[in-house]
Amino acid sequence: MTGILAAMQIEMALLAERLENAERRTVSGVEFLSGAIAGKPVVLAVCGIGKVNAAVCAQTMALLYHPDVMINTGVGGALNRTLHVLDVVVGTYAVQHDVDTSALGDEKGFVSTVNRLRFPLSERVSDDLERALVDTGARAVRGAIASGDQFVSEPDAKAAIAERFGASVCEMEGGAIAHVCLLNEIPCCILRAISDGADDGAALTYAEFAERAAHVSAKAMIRYLEAYA
Ligand code: ADE
């Protein structure tokens, strides 16, 4: 079974429309929809915005459904000039850019207990997601994902995240989902279509493009399920 998580309803809508034999279950405040898309077993969940919401959803999904893989689909802010609105980044690794115990001598982004900065993402499933993106005509790029509990819209913050973590995209959930997947030994992937430039104009660009970007990512997810899952 493929677990699919999105922060917002607009990121899940196209997938939910395609769900067959849907069964609904609400646990820990999260509604899980299980069934099949293109004949492939899936569980869908809109986790809400931010790392804690994402972690609660991912952990609950892991315990209830034991998915073989969890894929986080949605939108994100571009951290470099080579990325344009509606391009899609398939994550190479995830970081939690807002974790900071540097006052105690740790590197910024270092997550104690699991004692790491980078959270792994499945290369095998990411290769298939990239194929699915190409099939749908989207521009697919590989890059690191930086997650934190902020909507990044300030050039200095953007530059610091890009440089410190070598990241291509900022968003607010993927690093938490990858963290939960690591703890539960579940392969994880992150797919993020660019909705804005994470700088001065980000709020306006996001308002204009978030829904279209969300659909680009969701269409690739559907193609992945049809052809590669
Ligand atoms: N998701 C989409 N755009 C974003 C941004 N600029 N910062 C954080 N999350 C986002």
pLDDT digits (tens, 9 = 90+) for 183-198: 999 999 999 999 999 9
Query: CB atoms < 10 A from the CB of 81, how many?
Result: 7
pLDDT of residue 160: 98
pLDDT of residue 123: 98
Please provide the average confidence, as pLDDT, over all residues in the chain. Answer: 98
Q: Ligand 1 centre from 116 Cα, in Å? A: 23
pLDDT of residue 178: 99
User: At 28, is the secondary structure helix, strand, or coil?
Assistant: coil
Name the helix (H) or strand (E) containing 144: strand 140-147
Residues with active-site annotation: 11, 196
Mutation pick for ligand 1 pocket among 206, 208, 211 (CB with most ligand atoms within 8 Å): 206
pLDDT digits (tens, 9 = 90+) for 54-72: 999 999 999 999 999 999 9
Q: Taking a C-beta distance cutoff of 8 angstroms, is the pair 216, 196 a contact?
A: no
Rounded distance between C-alpha atoms, residue 63 and residue 48, angstroms: 19
pLDDT of residue 115: 98
User: At 17, is the secondary structure helix, strand, or coil?
Assistant: helix
Q: Ligand 1 centre from 139 Cα, in Å? A: 19
pLDDT digits (tens, 9 = 90+) for 113-171: 999 999 999 999 999 999 999 999 999 999 999 999 999 999 999 999 999 999 999 99
pLDDT of residue 154: 97
Residue 109, phi-psi category: left (phi > 0), alpha (psi -120 to 50), beta (remainder): left
Name every protein residue with a CB atom under 6 angstroms from any ligand 1 atom: 75-77, 151-153, 170-172, 195-196, 198, 202, 206
pLDDT digits (tens, 9 = 90+) for 6-49: 999 999 999 999 999 999 999 999 999 999 999 999 999 999 99
